[in-house]
Structure 1
């Protein structure tokens, strides 16, 4: 079936209004299929007209419209035509549906730890019709009554509060009006922890095999949940409208979480089964706050059409970091936003896949997913942060309140939201909207400094828009002057000019470091002047303010990403300063970013072994600086385990011998060391199978798949390739991702490099099967994971371009290839520019 067209959705919304849904699901029919009976009441504004509803069924037993039977054989392209409508109508569909394994629809997973089955519903973006018949578009909201039959040992939950009426029989309370993509059912032998806050019943659910870990971590989860509720109630002035609040941590989940009203689903990796860091706790807290923000912005007020999906996610992204920083113990949330989320978004916004935050054309539902990225999240959140600074936070929040109040339980557009902010602030946002929301790309910020005898005579902030832009955007930011870790000046600047004089700096002694965007408030690439660039190493190591360190790292990473700074210098700076980094999220994200994007990618091939070794050495120096039982030691040990080539150390750590105390007994840490052994060819398949035998969990199963795929042996690569692209193997989305993650690991480091080079060419011939095997929602991430990133050659770039031009590949696959190709192109630039030069200091190139 083709994706629902916007014109079709508009015509259907103009014709009908949905009064109610009554959904009965029978989940006790076996492991492959389930029964689905749906009754929909709706009105029609033009009697005798026709419309259609959406249904993705294995088989259809009956369809009845106003007591008239419709032949199930007439259903075509997953659409049921409804003709000769009356003013008031009732349609009833009885069908059999198939459980899915791609994280969409009604997903069924088996926990290998105990063989128990778990079910959860994921109706986003257009997967609802594979669970129940519906008018599947966001602006046809209606209340839902849901009944579920399930195995007697299961519990059942959903959007409305669930009541068990008989063994295996459950009835859910009638919901307020919902969009179809929010409807969910979770069922299985879940373990549960309960609480209550401010009259709201709270529940946390997880697989039975994780019950002990949930019990240990429940207090932190409930604390963040309660703090977020209190913050949003104060901020929005509207009480939580969905009754109870359940959080289901479910297996094999595609995204971080999904904001189903009253029944949020989250990936169950957020229930840590072993050692974990403060960063992981912060990330979980941020996700909890993010999904809760959606209860108001997205659920209470929903976009009219998918082209405004950015506003749901931008708002939740912004609110999550604001809430986590202001209301929880994770006060460093904005630092985490800058290094983790904005770095992701900058990569997209500098690439050919860049697009405006808003206003992107979404002619059909599926096309919206191609712009569901770091721009929709991180840049959109940064734009809202700028909007708050531009109009004043009081006016911004007043506008949010007005928007939520005016459109409660309905749908709205970007214009509605901005109109509410304009009303409360008294400021026109037309120019601001055009510059921030309707344009693409990243502005460059730099200081043009004229000095004499160590004294600044004149300084100007220069804003350079991206190539092809009609003009720059207004910025609210701060500029700092720092020498020897002492902040000498901080200047707040509001400008929409290409060049802005900074009289506050004139007459001042030249500081060693002049840092635009020192508080990381705006969205831009910081280009340091030559004097400041020379001072980066010493000032970064000495800076006490984590936002200053973040701003400096953002400048270095952005410079390497755009080919202006030698990536080897970034590695050197990391090795020199990272071991002493005290903010966990900044240090953890940097370790991940440098290890992922630098050796064997941005760093030229001949220098990559040394770069990898420098990372391992940095991890060892961190271990020497911190308490071996502290979470900071776990971060250092993970970096060593992922980058070291020391066969003796890796063997010992994989066997839980002589590990730092923070990692002792941690099975997940053991798999990191074992995966590194596998990609270096230090172990065989039997060793992996023995490790899997000692860890029968889902994570153990996936880690074993990844390690086996990483073995630099022809037999292992043949097996993995067949698993990923062969018709005879049915993998879950997580199994496919694990094998893909291992396949090209170690390229350039192991004896299978020549073998893998041939597979790199073959990768582009297999792309058409990916959406069919792993689903549309997972396929984009799969392609990004499976892509041969380490093969930095023009031939790979050319093959990627050909695959992007091939319309046999889906839009999601082509979009993933655009992102992956951009990384290859950037690496090629770095190799050409820096291969023949020896690193001296992080200087920019022409």
Structure 2
């Protein structure tokens, strides 16, 4: 039996209502399995009918329905049939479940630093039945009573408030109605920090080995948590409904975080073990605000079926950036959204795998996961931002409050939400919905002007929809005339047709730069005329408004991504302007994007060494401009470390000699240096051993794997390949670390032929990846392990063959499609701009 079909879920929901779960978990049975004993009460509208229960057990001890035994052997394909139902029913399933290492179900991780074990539950999307037998679909919500037995030195928490009732015995308070995919239990020797705000008990948990770091960072985490609570209480008009609020920073987590009511789980890399930048702090704050938004939108009101999963994530994405911008010290939140989240989303929306924000078919639960991407998050949040601008912010918020109030502790659909906004605003959203939610692709926007003697005589904003989905989409946006970096005039437009006149510009001097979408308010590719394009470099250095700078960079990145702008030009502009960028998110993320996607990818091979040197030199110049102890110096040093080929510099930095003060003593920075040295062939496995012996942490272990996989030798690649696909049993994080290092450094050493030989082997091994690493981790693995540095048509052909193969899962095919699109864009750039080398190769000295 495959994934739960929507039709099956509808039939089951029409037949039964679940009245409650009573769950006992025994986590004190060893390292491989745990006990699960669940009793479920439910009613049936048609006595005598049958339904099914979802069970994914290692072994089933017993099943009883209304006191009568059901043969445990009847469990097939994760289901057991329940026949002859009464009006009121009780089913009990006692089973042994297996701990998982793929970040799903009940995941058990071992901290190599101290050997301690940690457990956390991740029931999303369909992993709940591997923890307890259940009716696993989002619209069969019910209250939960949970008891846990665990080793006596562990702490235990979950959705409800917890009470220790005896040695190793824990009882959790009855919850309000929850969807199965929100149920979690976290257990282990976690370090904990507690606080209270507005009557809400607060807890933060992390591995014991990170306890000192948590104590240093607790105040910042609690501050953002409290600020977010205050903002949401004011905004929604509904108090937080889940009692206490725990945040567990857990190891080997696939996502950024998961919004389990009352017990949020987050990846533990958000508790920084060393030096960190403001961008990293913002990302953590934004994630905290995102998950808290879900406590209302997603948890209090839950989607009816997985095809509305986008609305949960779009709403939380939008609210998180709004909250951090307005309620915390991170007033640059919308700048970060533009360069980080929207850049990700644009890449997806320009690719063959694009899909409408809403209305994408989800005939089964698994297919919904394939659309869990930059469209669901970044484009959906942009659409909601547009909706607020379209109907007015107060009408938008009134609709949100009505939606939350009307469907409290229940389920709802997109139609319910939009209906509430229509009622509040008095405006029809039929056309808006069709344009924004039920169509796909990115519109191009440009300003068409005529001028005489330097004065504009005609100005129109031109909107061109994508050829594959040419729907009319309205845009609320700003347009700025920029001279000397300063916006000398800004116009707010509502562009509801292909051409919109801009009379405010007529009769004004033609500015050096005419910039549509100057506040980055809408979702579109900005196409600059040649006169404006010629002015962007000066504007990026001089513009005081970070949204102006963001919008320029968005136009440049989008132009290179679509083959309109030579990627070498983007690198040249980066080299001049990046050292002067002062907003950390824009600086840090942009540095990572240009480094990752330009040399040896978008930039042709014969110009890539020069491009890499330009990026490196930008990092060096920034180090000269900023305080060496500042987070900006750390970001610049990271860029230099990732791009330099200077073996002597890398050796000094690896030995913690001559580093900028901000990176001094930082082990993670040291590992970045080691990884770069390894990929360049400047060190060997024995030298990596020596570094690893001084860092036994989980982070150190993963960094060691990346560095070993990056070594450009036949033996190192053979070892890494065997780790990924041989007999080794890697966790989801370990597999991802090896995959990330495998193709590192291609084109910068003599490993070209060696790596090319592994490209075909990568595609042949793909069907095994989900079985090894789990469905969620597999999609990340495919992107990381894709031979992205081998920019050749043969690799693209092999990817297309793999995408067409039924042997690969839908999630793997989706990740392949996105990776192939990146490769195709690189091939297009090489075709258009790669005929001759255009810049000399810089040298280090």
* TM-score normalized with structure 2 length: 0.99
**Is residue 731 of structure 1 aligned with residue 758 of structure 2?**
no
Shift of 1:74: 1.0
**Is residue 741 of structure 1 aligned with residue 737 of structure 2?**
no
Are the aligned partners of 1:256 and 1:266 in contact in 2 as well (CA < 8 Å)? yes
| Aligned counterpart, 2:2 | 2
What does residue range 527-676 of structure 1 map to in structure 2 within 5 Å? Answer: 527-676=527-676
Are the aligned partners of 1:106 and 1:131 in contact in 2 as well (CA < 8 Å)? yes
Provide the C-alpha distance between the structure 1 equivalents of 2:606 and 2:29, rounded to a whole number of angstroms: 59
SS at match of 1:297: coil
| Aligned counterpart, 2:117 | 117
Shift of 1:470: 3.5
| Aligned counterpart, 1:787 | 786
Provide the C-alpha distance between the structure 1 equivalents of 2:394 and 2:257, rounded to a whole number of angstroms: 30
| Aligned counterpart, 2:843 | none
Could you list the per-position Cα deviations for residues 778-813 of structure 1 after superposition, in whole angstroms to 9, with x for gaps in the alignment? 111100000000101000000000000001000000
Are the aligned partners of 2:606 and 2:837 in contact in 1 as well (CA < 8 Å)? no
Shift of 1:33: 0.2
Shift of 1:469: 2.2
| Aligned counterpart, 2:388 | 388
Are the aligned partners of 1:352 and 1:822 in contact in 2 as well (CA < 8 Å)? yes
| Aligned counterpart, 1:270 | 270
What does residue range 342-381 of structure 1 map to in structure 2 within 5 Å? Answer: 342-381=342-381
| Aligned counterpart, 2:239 | 239
Could you list the per-position Cα deviations for residues 175-197 of structure 1 after superposition, in whole angstroms to 9, with x for gaps in the alignment? 00000000000000000000000
What does residue range 9-408 of structure 1 map to in structure 2 within 5 Å? Answer: 9-408=9-408
Provide the C-alpha distance between the structure 1 equivalents of 2:690 and 2:56, rounded to a whole number of angstroms: 42
Q: Which runs of 4+ in 1 moved over 4 A?
A: 837-840
Shift of 1:471: 2.5
**Is residue 451 of structure 1 aligned with residue 438 of structure 2?**
no
Shift of 1:838: 5.8
Shift of 1:753: 1.4
| Aligned counterpart, 2:465 | 465
Are the aligned partners of 2:607 and 2:838 in contact in 1 as well (CA < 8 Å)? no
**Is residue 489 of structure 1 aligned with residue 489 of structure 2?**
yes
| Aligned counterpart, 1:799 | 798
| Aligned counterpart, 1:844 | none
Could you list the per-position Cα deviations for residues 69-101 of structure 1 after superposition, in whole angstroms to 9, with x for gaps in the alignment? 001011111101100000000000000000000
What does residue range 407-446 of structure 1 map to in structure 2 within 5 Å? Answer: 407-446=407-446
Shift of 1:488: 1.2
Could you list the per-position Cα deviations for residues 491-538 of structure 1 after superposition, in whole angstroms to 9, with x for gaps in the alignment? 000121100111110111110000000000000000011110111111
Are the aligned partners of 1:162 and 1:171 in contact in 2 as well (CA < 8 Å)? yes
Are the aligned partners of 1:112 and 1:696 in contact in 2 as well (CA < 8 Å)? yes
Q: Give the length in aligned residue pairs.
A: 839
Could you list the per-position Cα deviations for residues 173-226 of structure 1 after superposition, in whole angstroms to 9, with x for gaps in the alignment? 000000000000000000000000000000000000000000000000000000
Could you list the per-position Cα deviations for residues 453-492 of structure 1 after superposition, in whole angstroms to 9, with x for gaps in the alignment? 1111101100000013233200000000011122211000
Greater shift after overlay, 493-502 or 7-16?
493-502
Provide the C-alpha distance between the structure 1 equivalents of 2:731 and 2:471, rounded to a whole number of angstroms: 47
Shift of 1:839: 5.2
Shift of 1:837: 4.9
SS at match of 2:617: helix
Could you list the per-position Cα deviations for residues 1-58 of structure 1 after superposition, in whole angstroms to 9, with x for gaps in the alignment? 4100000000000000000000000000000000000000000000000000000001
Are the aligned partners of 1:445 and 1:463 in contact in 2 as well (CA < 8 Å)? yes
Provide the C-alpha distance between the structure 1 equivalents of 2:720 and 2:294, rounded to a whole number of angstroms: 39
Are the aligned partners of 1:566 and 1:839 in contact in 2 as well (CA < 8 Å)? no
Point out where structure 2 has 5 or more consecutive residues left out of the alignment. 840-845
* TM-score normalized with structure 1 length: 0.99
Are the aligned partners of 1:108 and 1:118 in contact in 2 as well (CA < 8 Å)? yes
SS at match of 2:265: strand
| Aligned counterpart, 1:843 | none
Provide the C-alpha distance between the structure 2 equivalents of 1:503 and 1:430, rounded to a whole number of angstroms: 29
Shift of 1:260: 0.1
Provide the C-alpha distance between the structure 1 equivalents of 2:657 and 2:783, rounded to a whole number of angstroms: 35
SS at match of 2:505: coil
SS at match of 1:371: coil
Point out where structure 1 has 5 or more consecutive residues left out of the alignment. 841-846
Provide the C-alpha distance between the structure 1 equivalents of 2:517 and 2:281, rounded to a whole number of angstroms: 28
Shift of 1:725: 1.0
Are the aligned partners of 1:575 and 1:618 in contact in 2 as well (CA < 8 Å)? yes
Are the aligned partners of 1:443 and 1:472 in contact in 2 as well (CA < 8 Å)? no
| Aligned counterpart, 2:842 | none
SS at match of 1:504: helix
Provide the C-alpha distance between the structure 1 equivalents of 2:814 and 2:192, rounded to a whole number of angstroms: 39
Are the aligned partners of 1:126 and 1:136 in contact in 2 as well (CA < 8 Å)? yes
Could you list the per-position Cα deviations for residues 122-151 of structure 1 after superposition, in whole angstroms to 9, with x for gaps in the alignment? 000000000000000000000000000000
SS at match of 1:331: coil
Provide the C-alpha distance between the structure 2 equivalents of 1:744 and 1:487, rounded to a whole number of angstroms: 44
Could you list the per-position Cα deviations for residues 547-589 of structure 1 after superposition, in whole angstroms to 9, with x for gaps in the alignment? 0000000000000000000000111111100011000000001
| Aligned counterpart, 2:823 | 824
SS at match of 1:578: helix
Provide the C-alpha distance between the structure 2 equivalents of 1:107 and 1:399, rounded to a whole number of angstroms: 39
Are the aligned partners of 1:290 and 1:320 in contact in 2 as well (CA < 8 Å)? yes
Are the aligned partners of 1:569 and 1:839 in contact in 2 as well (CA < 8 Å)? no
Are the aligned partners of 2:439 and 2:471 in contact in 1 as well (CA < 8 Å)? no
SS at match of 1:695: coil
SS at match of 2:787: coil
SS at match of 1:447: strand
Provide the C-alpha distance between the structure 1 equivalents of 2:272 and 2:468, rounded to a whole number of angstroms: 46
